[in-house]
Amino acid sequence: MSITFLHQAARGVAVSLALLSLSASIATAGNAEPKSRSASKAAKGNLRKVALSPDEQGEFANFSQWKNVADFIDEMVEKHGFDRAALEATFKKTRYIDSAVQLVKPAPPGKPKNWRAYRSRFVEPIRINAGVAFWDKYADALARAEQTYGVPAEIIVGIIGVETIYGRNTGNFRVLDALTTLAFDYPDTPNRDARMSFFRGEVENTLLFAREANLDPFSLLGSYAGAIGWPQFMPGSIRKFAVDFDGDGRVDLRGSPVDAIGSVANFLVQHGWKSGEPVAFPVTVARDETMRAWDMFIGQGLEAKFSLDELKGAGIVPTIEPPADMRFGLVDLQNGGEPTEYWLGANNFFAITQYNRSFFYAMSVVDLGRAVRTARSR
């Protein structure tokens, strides 16, 4: 969001909305625009003029004089044939976004995870009603995406609703400002080097995307983490997974909800979504502390890799019987001081976690999509 990325997982999306975006939409996380067909259309989407808040405007930093940025410019010149003077001028105009640095810092330790509280931020009347309106308006595009990619409309609706409340919160940070700040001045955290490398790659993708689409890179707006458009695709995800689903000759994830629909579906397929397969099944687990063999299945990664027999043998009991020939992972949704909720996640559940690496996020997408579908059928 798409799609693809980071988070200090649940926190990232939660702020993205409050943007995180993030993205949605992102940060998001999408705007992929090959050349527009007309000047009037180019004026839409990323190129629209918006009033930026002080947090979004940032401050002068003259990145062109930072040694790490100079090294990056050397690399872009050598690797991709960019003009050195033009890049130096670009980074001289790039601004430092302190709010982005503050927002990516890990949440304070000690507060227990609470699935029900998290879910309530996303599966609520505003998003459900907006989701019904979105589905009604773009029913044809959603049906076409489902037919083309095999991703149910409710999953696409769920992702766009969680990310940006159907385009309401796509973010107004200049993407190059936010990404450059995080690439070269990420806060001091245990994963700082990895995160700086990630964001440096996204600065590279932003400049490449802008060149490929013949855009001013400063026209790209998104979340504090650089996620763009209705589905909050990162620039790298735009280049890899975004599609021109409305057929106008360009990909525009900020200005075209139809492109967003197709791009979300394509992202999921490229990350393992299997048409016609289920997503998740509720289960119970043995609560006796002396019979916690199922505990070994907690924290085993974002992958469906265990057989049903293995899971049942450890005391995991499905309340709805899953297909015996599928693989699953145990999903634990912690509820603070209340009992944890458990599910068996199938392959398609873990495809959603590639959009945001959080069980809470993936289940919120599933639940919001289901709630919108139910409300729409009334």
pLDDT digits (tens, 9 = 90+) for 88-128: 999 999 999 999 999 999 888 777 899 999 999 999 999 99
How confident is the model at residue 50, as a pLDDT?
53
What are the residues whose beta carbons fall under 8 Å from the beta carbon of 113, sequence distance 6 or more?
A: 10, 334, 336, 360
Residue 133 has pLDDT above 70, yes or no: yes
- Are 33 and 213 spatial neighbours (Cβ–Cβ below 8 Å)? yes
Residue 162 has pLDDT above 90, yes or no: yes
> Residues for the chain: how many in total?
378
pLDDT digits (tens, 9 = 90+) for 163-172: 999 999 999 9
Query: What is the DSSP annotation of 315-376?
Result: TEEESSPPPTT-EEEEEEEEETTEEEEEEEE-HHHHHHHTTBS-HHHHHHHHHHHHHHHHHH
What is the percentage of the chain residues whose pLDDT exceeds 70?
A: 85
Whole-number Å distance between alpha carbons of 41 and 238: 19
How confident is the model at residue 36, as a pLDDT?
31
- Are 42 and 213 spatial neighbours (Cβ–Cβ below 8 Å)? no
Band (pLDDT 50/70/90 cuts) for residue 293 is confident
Residue 240 has pLDDT above 90, yes or no: yes
Band (pLDDT 50/70/90 cuts) for residue 9 is very low
Residue 331 has pLDDT above 50, yes or no: yes
163 is catalytic: yes
Residue 238 has pLDDT above 50, yes or no: yes
Between 34 and 218, name the one with better pLDDT: 218
How confident is the model at residue 51, as a pLDDT?
65
Please give the average per-residue pLDDT across 28-57, as a whole number. Answer: 44
Residue 31 has pLDDT above 50, yes or no: no
pTM, full prediction: 0.85
Please give the average per-residue pLDDT across 300-319, as a whole number. Answer: 94
Residue 38 has pLDDT above 60, yes or no: no
Measured CA to CA in angstroms, residue 29 lies from 179, 225, 361 at distances of 12, 9, 15
Average pLDDT, the chain: 87
Between 306 and 47, name the one with better pLDDT: 306
- Are 5 and 224 spatial neighbours (Cβ–Cβ below 8 Å)? no
How confident is the model at residue 289, as a pLDDT?
60
pLDDT digits (tens, 9 = 90+) for 177-223: 999 999 999 999 999 999 999 999 999 999 999 999 999 999 999 99
CB atoms near residue 105 (< 10 Å): 13
How confident is the model at residue 45, as a pLDDT?
40
Catalytic residue among 56, 146, 154, 163: 163
How confident is the model at residue 109, as a pLDDT?
79
How confident is the model at residue 58, as a pLDDT?
80
Domain map (residue ranges) of the chain: 9-58+97-273+365-376, 280-345
How confident is the model at residue 107, as a pLDDT?
81
Band (pLDDT 50/70/90 cuts) for residue 308 is very high
Question: Which residues, listed in sequence order, are joined to residue 344 by a DSSP beta bridge?
Answer: 281, 330
